[in-house]
Structure 1
Amino acid sequence: MDLVFPHTFVPWFRSVAPHIHAYRGKTFVVGITGEAIAAGKLNALVQDLAILHAMGVRLVLVHGFRPQVDEQLRAKGLTSKFAQGRRITDSVALDCAQEAAGQLRFEIEAAFSQGLPNTPMANSTVRVVSGNFLTARPVGIVDGVDFVSSGFVRKVDAVMIRRAIDIGALVLLSPFGFSPTGEAFNLTMEDVATATAVALQADKLLFLTEVPGVRESLDDPDSPIDTELALADAERLLARLPESTLPTDPGFYLRHCIDACRGGVERSHILPFASDGALLMEIFTHDGIGTMVVDEKLESLREAGADDVGGILQLIEPFERDGTLVKRDRTEIERDIANYTVIEHDGVIFGCAALYPYPEAMTGEMAALTVSPQVQGQGDGDKILKRVEQRARAAGLASIFVLTTRTMHWFIKRGFSPVDPDWLPEARKRKYNWDRRSQVLVKKLS
């Protein structure tokens, strides 16, 4: 075991390093349902949040308490009352909600205070800050139903929350808000988490829920989870779904994710709390485990800049080492960085290519086309090729060519044709390595 472990652990740890660098200093709002806590998932979630906190992620945690309030009401011989998917919070239900919130806050703070040796919490120091950060307003009477002390978020005190997370604290929010007259209103975790993420302009909003995510087929409950939805696609999908009032409805969390992205949150996620480590898997693996809604205005395919040199070097180095790509040093990439196109996910570069024009021959070379092994087969190579072709057309070029020793068939399937090396522009022909014997392939641009 000792001999095998380094061969699996070290490459894995290096593979997540770009995500660690990308998320340091970012703000995540995490919403956890009361059902997850009732299912015994709190300690594992706290351990994962402590890891993120140690990596420099700024955290706001919002907890729900639906089953806990129901339990308090049952203990009093009463039943929960709901209308239009929202709890009717009379005076007794409000007392039960306050009791449930107090107990949960105590349990969460206790969980973050753990530090036993030989546990994930050893040496952790996570200070939890709670407070009256939320101003609320009543739901009022809707369709003849008086919701009494149920409310909506009116305002989030983003300034004070930022001050707390700036000093390294984790902010814990219960689904309660207060009016300027001091009245307490019972809110929903989903509304609080969404409003807080928008107010903070958080980098991520993550819901740990009863549902595994949004499935690719609305008609097949066993179809795969759709791991990424552009905002426009998510809106079209939501329009096809019936009105969602229950947390187990497909559109319930999707609606909140859409609202968050419309409000400026970069990415919103729906994760299954039943999967151990769902939070870490979603953040530190490319495909994740749930559904991510992405504001499509965040262009993942773009021209490279000076800050991308390190990411490009890290991406192409393994392919240079095995001989797939010709060796390029940092100075060369820095000099030619304007020629590069990159594709990124969550701030990490997963693909690149460079275009070197030869205007006198009306052609250009596409070089260093690379896609990370983590995402190969998912279409990123085609996206990069399409963008390079667009750049070539914009430069007035009639064709592009590549030199390759191992990927001829990939290019041929995409419209490239093999030619003799003598076809190359004179300036490129002088640099052709006859020992390497690279195949030259050309694609005409219509």
Structure 2
Amino acid sequence: METPKILENAQNIRSVIRYLKRFKNTTFVIHLPDSILESSVFLNHISDIALIHNAGIRIVLVAGAKKRINCLLESAGILWQEKDGLRVSGENAMPHIKMASFDVANSIMTALAAEKISAVIGNWVKARGKGIIDGFDYESCGEIDQIDLPSIHSVLENNFIPIFPCLGWSSSGRPYNISSIDLAKEIAIQLKSEKLFFLNDYELEEIFLEKKAHENESINALSVQNLEAILKENRAIPIHAARLLNLALEACKKGLERVHLIDQRIDGVILNELFSELGSGLMIYDDNYGAIRSMDLEDVADVLSLMRPFVKKGILLERSEVQLKELHGDFVVYEIDGAIRACAALHVYGEEQGEIAAVVVDERYNKAGIGIKLIDFLKKKARGLGIASLFVLTTQTADWFEKQGFKPDILESIPFAKQEKIDKNRKSKVFRLELV
């Protein structure tokens, strides 16, 4: 096997082991819409969920039953309407809604049994009628009153997977139809789960109507702040997508660190989203997903490994371990889930000038806006030190630095101490950014 392939495999294995260690004994809530039952990869998804469960991660499943309920109501000739993404139907629909809800949950439990995983379906949700709002009667639609957390914890401690149908019951035993995505969100919040997954059967691009995320963030990860801005700016987002995004937003604001929207049509999508930093869906996250911090001496080996491909391409000057250790106080790193994915340095030449150097971003993250975040961080640091301007030397990234506001300058403008160290054969260009 070629060395690059071995290295790639090793990196993937390291990533999996790191995530397994991090998530062991934590809880994941996964929403499965009933459309997944018709998918050719449904059983593969169940197999992957079983693998995650057997790895020591607690799994809670919430079964959506929209298609199955609609089918039974149509067969029975029962009419319903939709209001704000909710199905509104009369009391005569409830026997069919209960039948469909338990049927879907049972199908999921049967598939888990084939993987030798014990699961249980329960009536753990107390509910009340949604009632009449602004003159509109929501009839059999219910609101969540309480989730029986002690019972759920007991089920999880006994190594069972709890499966929630999209139903709730009043204290007198009256059933209500509960939105399964609302239920998944509420369960995740109350259980303080590590992650909440929503599987769906539409392209992520549909969510944004071909609108990519803000320039400084990729489509596969959105901060709470950027998602709020997108929802505010783009009022044409389809109702089903907008509801899901708003639920993700609410969940993050109420304590969840990560909410994942993933395409159920892709085989292996759950494992890939879980065990790789980039994932394969859309992750909504609170601010602590990626963090900039000062480089420690323990980071030197990882930073050298990060730099190596760019040194080989001639983009970056080679630096030794000794050099990095001597200058480690000038460096910052960008860490994602415990792994260093980018670095940059600010070298200070008195109060007049500072140099931005060694800006490196793992190629797998070059569309995630990390480089911009590093530059902004170092600009703020430089201003705090009273530095008047920043300069950078580059051979292949001039366009990128110009986009960040740097202007062409001459070599003679930089400090003499730096001029003496420059390799003239590289013919580096000088760019400058005035801070005052």
Pairwise TM-score range, normalised by the shorter structure: 0.7 to 0.9
One-letter identity of the residue aligned with 1:443: R
**Matches of 2:419 and 2:390, distance apart in 1:** 15
Quote the offset at 1:65 in angstroms. 0.9
Which of 174, 188, 192 is equivalent to 1:201? Answer: 192
Quote the offset at 1:301 in angstroms. 4.7
Which of 296, 300, 314 is equivalent to 2:290? Answer: 300
Per-residue CA distance 1:363-396 (angstroms, 9 max, x = gap) = 4444432110112255432331222122122112
C-alpha contact (below 8 Å) 2:289/2:336 kept by paired residues: no
Please give the secondary structure, in 2, of the residue aligned with 1:202. coil
Per-residue CA distance 1:119-167 (angstroms, 9 max, x = gap) = xxxxxx6443544433322212445555444311223345654565567
Matches within 5 A, 1:5-404: 11=8, 14-15=11-12, 17-18=14-15, 21-22=18-19, 24-25=22-23, 27-54=27-54, 57-74=57-74, 77-84=76-83, 85-88=85-88, 90-115=90-115, 126-142=117-133, 146-158=137-149, 161=152, 165=156, 169-213=160-204, 215=206, 218=209, 226-239=219-232, 240-241=234-235, 247=240, 250-283=241-274, 288-295=279-286, 297-298=287-288, 300-304=290-294, 309=299, 312=303, 314-319=305-310, 324-329=316-321, 339-345=330-336, 348-359=339-350, 362-402=352-392
Q: Structure 2, unaligned stretches of length 5 or more?
A: 214-218
C-alpha contact (below 8 Å) 1:33/1:209 kept by paired residues: yes
* Cα distance, 1:378–1:253 mapped onto 2, change above 3 Å: closer
**Matches of 1:55 and 1:338, distance apart in 2:** 39
**Matches of 1:193 and 1:103, distance apart in 2:** 18
One-letter identity of the residue aligned with 1:375: Y
* Cα distance, 1:335–1:109 mapped onto 2, change above 3 Å: farther
One-letter identity of the residue aligned with 1:370: V
Quote the offset at 1:416 in angstroms. 5.8
More helix by share: 2
C-alpha contact (below 8 Å) 1:16/1:284 kept by paired residues: no
* Cα distance, 1:235–1:367 mapped onto 2, change above 3 Å: closer
C-alpha contact (below 8 Å) 1:301/1:341 kept by paired residues: no
When normalised by structure 1's length, the TM-score is: 0.76
What does residue 216 of structure 2 align with? none
**Matches of 1:388 and 1:142, distance apart in 2:** 51
* Cα distance, 1:215–1:233 mapped onto 2, change above 3 Å: farther
C-alpha contact (below 8 Å) 2:395/2:426 kept by paired residues: yes
C-alpha contact (below 8 Å) 1:90/1:148 kept by paired residues: yes
Q: Structure 1, unaligned stretches of length 5 or more?
A: 116-124
Quote the offset at 1:110 in angstroms. 2.7
C-alpha contact (below 8 Å) 1:175/1:192 kept by paired residues: yes
- State the percentage of identical aligned residues: 25
C-alpha contact (below 8 Å) 2:231/2:242 kept by paired residues: yes
One-letter identity of the residue aligned with 1:398: A
One-letter identity of the residue aligned with 1:61: L
Which of 403, 407, 411 is equivalent to 1:415? Answer: 407
Please give the secondary structure, in 2, of the residue aligned with 1:374. helix
When normalised by structure 2's length, the TM-score is: 0.77
**Matches of 1:30 and 1:378, distance apart in 2:** 26
One-letter identity of the residue aligned with 1:62: V
* Cα distance, 1:317–1:67 mapped onto 2, change above 3 Å: same
